[in-house]
Chain A
Amino acid sequence: MKLLTHNLLSSHVRGVGTRGFPLRLQATEVRINPVEFNPDFVARMIPKVEWAALVQAADTLNLAEVPKEPTEGYEHDETFLRKMHHVLLEVDVLEGTLQCPESGRLFPISRGIPNMLLNDEETET
Chain B
Amino acid sequence: MGSRRMRMLESALAMVEYTSGKVFFTASSDLASMKKLKSAERLFLLIKKQLPIAVPSLSRGKILNEIQRLVNDDPGSWLKAILLWKELLECDAKREKVSQRDTNPLKRKVGENEIIIAKKLKVEEIQMVEESHREGQRDRQPKYYLEQGDAITKTEELQEQGSQNDLVKAADTENLEDLTFRVSCRCSGNIGKAFTTQEVGRVVGTALMKKFGWRADLRNPHLEIFMHLSDAYSVVGIPLFRVPLASRTYIQTAGLRSTIAWAMASIAEIKAGALVLDPMCGLGTILVEAAEEWPDVYYMGADVSDSQLLGACDNLKAAGLVDKINLLQVSVTELPLPSQSVDVIISDIPFGKKFKLGKDIKSILQEMGRVLRVGGAMVLLLSEDHHRHLRDCGGSSILLTSRDNITDPEVKMLLSPDKKTGPSDTASPSHKASSSRCPSTVLPCGWLVPLECFKVSLGKTDAFICKYKKAHASGLSPAGGLEPGPQPETATLQESPGLQDSS
Q: Do A and B bind each other?
A: yes
Q: Which residues of A contact B (CB under 8 A)?
A: 1-2, 4-5, 8-12, 17-18, 20-21, 33, 35-36, 38, 40-41, 43-45, 48, 89, 111-118, 123-124
- Distance between Cα atoms of A52 and B336 in the complex (Å): 18
Asked if A41 contacts B296 (CB within 8 A), the reply is yes
15 A–B pairs (Cβ distance < 8 Å), ordered by A: A4-B298, A5-B328, A8-B275, A8-B341, A9-B336, A17-B404, A20-B336, A33-B322, A40-B296, A115-B330, A116-B329, A116-B334, A117-B329, A118-B334, A123-B334
- Distance between Cα atoms of A117 and B335 in the complex (Å): 9
Of chain A, the residue at the smallest CB distance from B312 is: A113
Asked if B331 contacts A118 (CB within 8 A), the reply is yes
Binding site of B, secondary structure by majority: helix, strand, loop or mixed? loop
* Contact residues in B for A9 (Cβ distance below 8 Å): 328, 336-337
- With contacts A116-B330, A117-B304 known, is A111 near B296, CB below 8 A? no
| Most chain A CB inside 10 Å of its own CB: which residue of B322, B327, B330 | B330
Asked if A114 contacts B334 (CB within 8 A), the reply is no
Chain B residues within 8 Å of chain A by Cβ, number: 26
Within the complex, what minimum Cβ distance (angstroms) separates A1 from chain B? 7
Asked if A117 contacts B273 (CB within 8 A), the reply is no
- Distance between Cα atoms of A116 and B331 in the complex (Å): 8
Tell which of B309, B326, B338 touches A2, judged by Cβ atoms closer than 8 Å. Answer: B326
Asked if B300 contacts A5 (CB within 8 A), the reply is yes
* Contact residues in B for A114 (Cβ distance below 8 Å): 328-330
- Distance between Cα atoms of A22 and B50 in the complex (Å): 66
Asked if B328 contacts A18 (CB within 8 A), the reply is no
Cβ of B55 within 8 Å of any chain A Cβ, yes or no, is no
* Contact residues in B for A21 (Cβ distance below 8 Å): 338
- Distance between Cα atoms of A34 and B313 in the complex (Å): 18
Tell which of A1, A20, A41, A45 touches B326, judged by Cβ atoms closer than 8 Å. Answer: A1
Within the complex, what minimum Cβ distance (angstroms) separates A82 from chain B? 16
* Contact residues in A for B329 (Cβ distance below 8 Å): 113-117
- Distance between Cα atoms of A27 and B403 in the complex (Å): 31
Asked if A33 contacts B323 (CB within 8 A), the reply is yes
- Distance between Cα atoms of A114 and B275 in the complex (Å): 18
Tell which of A1, A5, A10, A118 touches B338, judged by Cβ atoms closer than 8 Å. Answer: A10
